[in-house]
Amino acid sequence: MQKIKSYNIYSAKAKLEKPISDATHTLTEISFLVLRITTEQNIIGEAYLLSFQYSPQTIIGALKDHGEMIIGEEVNNTGMVFNKMNAENEYFGQEGINRWAQGIFNIAMWDAHCKILGAPIWKVLGTYKTEVPIYGSGGWISYTREELKDEVVGYVKRGFKAVKIKVGKPDWKEDLERLKFVRESVGQDVEIMMDANQGMSLPNAMNLSFAARDIGITWFEEPINHSNYKGFESLKNKSGISLAMGEREFSTQPLRELIDKSAIDIWQPDILRIGGLEAWRDSAALADAYDIPVLPHYYKDYDIPLLCTIPNGVGAESFDWIDPLIDNPLQIHNGVARPHQGAGWGFNFKDECLTQI
């Protein structure tokens, strides 16, 4: 198998007309870091992470530190490299920004490995399905009513069967009115989900859950702080609403805690935060052991192929941010996405969209 001889880091940005906000963050840019590793025979493996405007020098530094660990490693040794990085990271911490760096190198190694094999990742891992439902995500709390309607109606016109909007206004009754407005805009046949990005108190999340029953909310994502396991348990037991979480987690420990409390209905791993392909699939296997479906966070171009390789993958989240920046945007028809057919992950960032760091 081929060894890794070098790596390069790039930045890229998607168009953003004006800042957008959820309950806990205001995003002033939609930016990405793109990693390319090169093997001795000049096979390139690529991966990216969503960085926004946060701590750019910190994450770049972590990528450079981890890059020095992979030179000379065989590209198929993804698990061995993950453990090597884990050992190096023990002093400053194996979670947080170090885990993001592990994740992006893992994803790039898998891309190169499967390009050498000449096969898509989902075919190498074994296939349960070849299409996955996908929902339209957004509904930022900074949107005007007109912007909110344009987005959700736009998703429906494109064939999406479900949309997710942000909640977490200072007054939860404003959230309720926005949810009612979305229901009126999309009709009764489209599923609606809500996401508080951990920005609500337990009493407000409880009030909104009860008040939104007549609207027909499919699930409530990150209603409160992700580490408040007792709060999740209380919200589940008292309101009965389906709860989704997982995007902020660097391990399966929170999933185990919530399983123990019967306080999670949908597991949402983030492939970068959790550390890459193997860690993502390990968490999905744990969820499957307790009949919990997997519906991951953000990275549709990685998640769709992986969801095709597990029995409990039920859907994916769609943002269009990288589509203009890559050579092979994911095809979505009638609310269903199919995995890329090319070798590896099946897509690459366009050179003209990248700035080398």
Encode pLDDT of 192-213 as tens digits. Answer: 999 999 999 999 999 999 999 9
| 15 three-state secondary structure | coil
Number of other CB atoms surrounding residue 186 within 10 Å = 21
pLDDT at 1: 78
pLDDT at 133 over 90: yes
- The CA distance from 33 to 144, in Å, is 30
Measured between alpha carbons, how far is residue 28 from residues 16, 22, 283, 326 in Å?
A: 8, 12, 32, 22
CA-derived radius of gyration, the chain: 20
- Mean pLDDT of the residues in the chain: 97
- The CA distance from 85 to 77, in Å, is 12
Comparing C-alpha atoms, which of 340, 264, 343 is closest to residue 307? 340
Measured between alpha carbons, how far is residue 304 from residues 15, 110, 146, 317, 341 in Å?
A: 24, 15, 31, 9, 12
pTM value is 0.96
Comparing C-alpha atoms, which of 29, 28, 36, 27 is closest to residue 14? 29
Question: Is residue 206 packed enough to be buried (19+ CB in 10 Å), middle (13-18) or exposed (0-12)?
Answer: buried
Q: Say whether 123-337 and 4-118+351-356 share the same fold.
A: no
Assess contact for 320 and 114: CB atoms under 8 A: no
Q: How many CA atoms lie within 13 A of 52 on its CB side?
A: 9
Q: What percent of the chain has pLDDT over 90?
A: 99
Comparing C-alpha atoms, which of 303, 259, 300, 297 is closest to residue 281? 303
Kindly give, in sequence order, each residue whose CB lies less than 8 Å from that of residue 55, ignoring residues fewer than 6 positions away: 97
pLDDT at 126 over 90: yes
140, 31, 295, 186 alpha-carbon torsion, rounded to 10°: 30
pLDDT at 324 over 90: yes
Superfamily of domain 123-337: Enolase-like C-terminal domain (3.20.20.120)
**Does the CA dihedral 271-275-281-285 come out positive or negative?**
negative
- The token pair that represents 306 in the structure block: 């992986």
Q: What is the pLDDT of residues 13-31, one digit of tens each?
A: 999 999 999 999 999 999 9
Q: Please name the residue ranges forming H helices in the chain.
A: 56-70, 78-89, 97-117, 121-125, 145-157, 172-186, 202-211, 229-239, 253-260, 271-274, 277-289, 300-307
pLDDT at 293 over 90: yes
**Does the CA dihedral 215-217-222-224 come out positive or negative?**
positive
pLDDT at 269 over 90: yes
Mean pLDDT, rounded, for 116-130: 97
pLDDT at 160: 97
pLDDT at 23: 96
* Straight-line distance from the first to the last Cα atom of the chain, in angstroms, rounded to the nearest whole number: 29
User: Among 3.30.390.10, 3.30.420.40, 3.20.20.140, 2.70.70.10, what is the CATH number of 4-118+351-356?
Assistant: 3.30.390.10
Q: What is the pLDDT of residues 54-66, one digit of tens each?
A: 999 999 999 999 9
Q: Which sequence spans correspond to the domains of the chain?
A: 4-118+351-356, 123-337
Residue 231 identity (one-letter amino acid): G
pLDDT at 29: 96
- The token pair that represents 11 in the structure block: 């930045």
Assess contact for 163 and 190: CB atoms under 8 A: yes
